[in-house]
Amino acid sequence: MDTRIGVSTMPGILGTRLASTMHAMTDLLKVDVATQGERTVISATGEIDLSTAPMLETLLDEMSGVDGMVLDLSGVTFIDSTGLRVILGADTKAGESGRGLAIVATDGPVMRLFELTGVDVRLSLFESVAAATTDA
Amino acid sequence: MRDEDIVDRLQLDVPATPSLLATIRLFVASAARTADLGEDTIGDLKLAVSEAASAIITSGHHGTLTVVVAIGPAGTSVEVSPLSSEDLTGDHLHPGDIVRALFPAATLDMDRSALVIPLASGSG
């Protein structure tokens, strides 16, 4: 599988609101990292399964020391228990370090799996990035 | 489902590798639409089949993974093989638990080493 990880900095283009971006992608999943004010927003788009979850896990591990992290899953079109384990692992690490992890999930496959497994009551869930960056 | 009750039988045989999970889901969704299943049911089917297929792959099976969608007048069934009961158990998130939560009527056919998900006609 083709996997690409890249980092780009473009303060001149987007100013202080989005100071830098990082992204990683496979054929099925794209993950973008951006800074919004004091929050770091990790946005996943595509499918999270056994083939793509390791890439997301690696990126979340690398970002685990960051304060005010928001994981935006609103662009995820499929997720299974492999992906859920990665998210729960990141949430546990964030909780242990006292940093917290805000998760954006709207109606769809992500919320379906969260509710099915009962983790929706454990996670810090928001309906939009705006809500997460305001309230997280 | 008895053989004489099957109108259409769609089968996918692929190597048991993670990179083909998306192909498996695409096959199941396409076949389920042929059976006029609803989109909510199709979403659940994709999850259940992906859980079963992932369990087969993570168990170390390196051969062929088979998915069969059998469509008949009384309903549709989806089978994933080869799967053992050990494959469906794991750590704190059992694939078998997720499959059963999605489809309580799902069973493991030990003779054929297959997860069988029966769906009534008009599901979803």
ipTM of the complex: 0.88
Structure tokens at A73: 């899953």
pLDDT single digits (tens) A86-110: 999 999 999 998 888 999 999 899 9
Cβ atoms of residues A126 and A136 within 8 Å: yes
First and final C-alpha spacing in chain A: 35
Rg of chain A over Cα atoms, rounded to whole angstroms, equals 14
* Cα separation, A78 vs B50, whole angstroms: 10
Nearest to A40 by CA among A133, A135, A128, A105: A133
Per-residue pLDDT at A31 exceeds 70: yes
**Backbone phi, then psi, for A12, in 5-degree steps?**
-70, -30
- At A2, the pLDDT band (50, 70, 90 cuts) reads very low
Average pLDDT of chain A, as a whole number = 84
Average pLDDT of span A56-74 = 92
Window 15-44 of A: residues touching B by CB (8 A cutoff) are 28
Establish, for the pair of chains A and B, how many residue pairs have beta carbons separated by less than 8 Å: 48
Q: Do B43 and A81 touch (CB under 8 A)?
A: no
Option in B43, B57, B102 nearest A50 (CB): B57
* Cα separation, B56 vs B59, whole angstroms: 5
- At A14, the pLDDT band (50, 70, 90 cuts) reads very low
DSSP 8-state secondary structure symbol assigned to residue B42? H
Option in B18, B25, B98 nearest A117 (CB): B98
Which of A49, A76, A85, A120 best tests the B interface by mutation, with the highest count of B CBs <10 A? A49
Within an 8 Å CB–CB cutoff, is residue B124 touching chain A? no
What pLDDT score does B87 carry? 75
What pLDDT score does B4 carry? 65
What pLDDT score does A6 carry? 45
Q: Do A51 and B98 touch (CB under 8 A)?
A: no
Q: Which residue has the tokens 């299943």?
A: B37
Q: Which residues of chain B have pLDDT under 50?
A: none
Is this model's pTM higher than 0.80 or not? yes
Taking each helix axis from N to C end, the angle separating A109-117 and B39-58, rounded to the nearest 10 degrees, works out to: 70
d(CA A81, nearest CA chain B) in Å: 7
Within an 8 Å CB–CB cutoff, is residue A4 touching chain B? no
Bond into B82 cis (ω within 30): yes
* Cα separation, A31 vs A75, whole angstroms: 10
What pLDDT score does B121 carry? 65
Q: Do A112 and B19 touch (CB under 8 A)?
A: no
Q: Tell me how crowded residue A39 is: count the other CB atoms within 10 A of its CB.
A: 18
- At A10, the pLDDT band (50, 70, 90 cuts) reads very low
What pLDDT score does A3 carry? 45
What pLDDT score does A15 carry? 30
